[in-house]
């Protein structure tokens, strides 16, 4: 679905006239539909680790605590997928992103060692202990981009800016999100629509992406693997 068809579908559900154009419209309700669509997309990016938004990042280490800004390492960086950073050169993991208090404690009591940590502060990637220059680091992150502006299938923007642009997010959720948000800003009852939206978010998130495996029994025994859901199922 495009921005135009998302707003048209939402308008039909709400019971208002479906627009023929969105970004060029001067109609207050259409402008609000567009704003709701962008608000919903940004909220979904923050709400859950959708598989379609996960990417792999690469970095070549510097011989310094600060490795530069995250946007210089991955221009569409939104946030880390925790515990996915790995030094491919040394074959060792990095723990993080850790909190400010954890970082300060480590700097105070650990001068070196073999355990690697990282922190994001002020948009900078910090590593401890200071790595050797030229090492290859890989990690997974959640992209901030959820809109495809090029007519392909890859998100390259973090907001709609044209009627024909599409989203890589679940389109039904975007439509339902536009509906309850529009009703709310109009001062109309929206609780029922929000509850329907919330139920669909929980359903989609429960089936999205890979699930960690719990292994029961020792290595010499047959392995019984159970899928354990991950992620935030609320809003």
Binned at pLDDT 50, 70 and 90, residue 109 comes out as confident
CB 40 within 8 A of CB 177: yes
Predicted confidence (pLDDT) per residue in 46-95, tens digit: 989 999 999 999 999 999 999 999 999 999 999 999 889 999 999 999 99
* Pairing of the two strands 77-80 and 54-60: unpaired
Quick check: bond before 66 cis, omega within 30? no
pLDDT of res. 219: 44
Query: What pLDDT shows up at residue 76?
Result: 96
pLDDT score of 213? 54
* CA quadruple 156, 158, 164, 166: dihedral sign: positive
Alpha-carbon span 60 to 83, nearest angstrom: 18
Residue 29: the pLDDT is 98
């Amino acid at each position: 679905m495009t921005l135009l068809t998302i707003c048209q579908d939402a308008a039909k559900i709400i019971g208002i006239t479906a627009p023929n154009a969105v970004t060029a419209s001067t109609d207050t309700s259409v402008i609000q539909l567009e704003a709701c669509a962008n608000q919903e997309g940004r909220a979904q990016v923050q709400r859950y680790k959708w598989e379609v938004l996960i990417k792999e990042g690469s970095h070549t280490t510097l011989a310094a605590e600060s490795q530069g800004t995250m946007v210089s390492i991955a221009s569409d960086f939104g946030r880390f997928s925790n515990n996915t950073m790995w030094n491919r050169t040394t074959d060792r993991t990095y723990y993080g992103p850790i909190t400010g208090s954890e970082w300060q404690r480590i700097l105070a009591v650990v001068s070196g060692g073999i355990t690697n940590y990282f922190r994001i502060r002020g948009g900078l990637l910090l590593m401890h202990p200071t790595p050797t220059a030229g090492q290859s680091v890989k990690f997974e992150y959640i992209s901030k981009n959820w809109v495809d502006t090029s007519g392909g299938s890859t998100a390259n923007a973090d907001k709609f800016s044209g009627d024909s642009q599409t989203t890589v997010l679940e389109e039904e959720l975007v439509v339902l999100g536009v509906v309850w948000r529009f009703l709310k800003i109009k001062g109309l009852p929206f609780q029922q629509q929000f509850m329907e939206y919330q139920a669909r978010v929980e359903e989609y998130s429960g089936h999205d992406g890979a699930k960690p495996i719990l292994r029961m029994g020792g290595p010499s025994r047959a392995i019984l693997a159970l899928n354990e859901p991950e992620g935030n199922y609320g809003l």
